[in-house]
Amino acid sequence: AIVIFPQCPREDYWANAKVDRSTKPISLTFPKDLPPTKSMKLAMELLEEMLAKNYVNKDQVYVGGLSMGGMGTFEILYRKPDVFAAAFAICGAGNPESTEAYASKVPMWIFHGANDDVVDPQFSVDMVSGILKNGGKPNFTLFGKDNHNSWDSTFAEPKLLPWLFSNIKTKQ
């Protein structure tokens, strides 16, 4: 596998989000139909550069992220719905209306901690609802005892990687 972990600069964000850190959990809103952030634009350019390589299997391209990266996962799926064979988002958030672009195209597994006091777990519930409403059939795991660090439980999930790599994009 080729694994790429882009890092978002401190002054930017993967998703178009209005963030209010004065509340706990943080308050987030996700306006739709805005151009990508600078960091997302650069990540998409890197993705396109990699997809142009002849050694990249374009039927097995996956995306996943945690926290702000989970938000970025939902964002890049909205912007590139035909690229990914599967995706996972951990303690993320997004605009449920945007799921229409990818809900029925990209298998998903969404994870969150029920005690998350940074990113409200309701955001993941809302994304799952949006995916279901738009014809998708996501896996959803809510860890009853986890706080924001639900990535610990997620990456300990023995079925995650086999599930991820079992998804192969079908020809449209």
Whether the pLDDT of residue 170 is over 80: the answer is no
Question: CA dist 28 to 62, 104, 147, 149, Å?
Answer: 25, 25, 18, 18
pLDDT digits (tens, 9 = 90+) for 66-101: 999 999 999 999 999 999 999 999 999 999 999 999
pLDDT digits (tens, 9 = 90+) for 105-161: 999 999 999 999 999 999 999 999 999 999 999 999 999 999 999 999 999 999 999
Written as six digits, the tokens of 150 are 């639900």
Whether the pLDDT of residue 171 is over 80: the answer is no
Say whether pTM exceeds 0.85: yes
For residue 47, count other CB atoms closer than 10 A to its CB: 19
